[in-house]
Amino acid sequence: GELRVRAPVGFVFEERCALESIPGEPPAPTRVRCRALPTYAEDGAKDGTAISVVPEVEPLAGGRIAFAIMARNPPEPRTNRGGQTTSCRFEQCWSVEAKDSGGVQTDAGDDTPGFAINSPMLEAKLLDLDYLQRLAVGRNDRPGRPNDVIFSFTLAERPLSVGELVLSGPYGFAFDE
């Protein structure tokens, strides 16, 4: 069988991709072959990437499957407005389908909206505080302790679309809401 993910045009993947587990999700499938190959429209223009995940020994287990794959975002900013005539009703769609070894679809496929690509930030950092500043804000840099982290960033320009500003840290960091 095969799990196939189709990414919008512009994303760059290594041809021989690797599945990574996501904290808080079931472990990523192991003993699989992952390949990312460009797809082309009828006119020959590149129109996306097909990511193929094929089990090497036994079929993928039923149930929720979650994994991450390293990719590079498209180089140019783009919007992702809703209300479109695409399969996911947004400008940028990702699709997923599962097929058996004979190529017959085993589950209903699905399409999901992608995300807008904004211009790179001019600067993004965590502020480095001196000893007195750390005392003043109650900062505690010891492992496993709650902490106040101060973010600083500079946008090159106003984003192309309205939405939430998402700040994320490396795996293992947890932010209270």
Q: In this structure, is the dihedral angle defined by the CA atoms of residues 6, 63, 168 and 157, taken in order, positive or negative? A: positive
Reply yes or no on whether the pLDDT at 143 is more than 90.
no
Selected residue with higher pLDDT from 149 and 26: 26
Chain-centre distance of CA 93, in angstroms?
13
* pLDDT digit string, tens, across residues 65-115: 999 999 999 999 999 999 999 999 999 999 999 998 888 999 999 999 999
Q: What is the DSSP letter of 68?
A: B
Give residue 165's pLDDT. 78
Report the SS3 class of residue 137. Answer: helix
* Domain residue limits, the chain: 2-113, 123-154
Contact status, residue 7 vs residue 48, Cβ threshold 8 Å: yes
Assessment of whether the complete model's pTM goes beyond 0.75? no
* pLDDT digit string, tens, across residues 21-46: 998 999 999 999 999 999 999 999 99
What distance in Å separates the CA atoms of residue 120 and residue 3, rounded to the nearest whole number? 32
**Cα separations (Å) of 158 from 23, 43, 145?**
32, 35, 35
Contact status, residue 120 vs residue 156, Cβ threshold 8 Å: yes
Q: Which residue has the tokens 């679809």?
A: 105
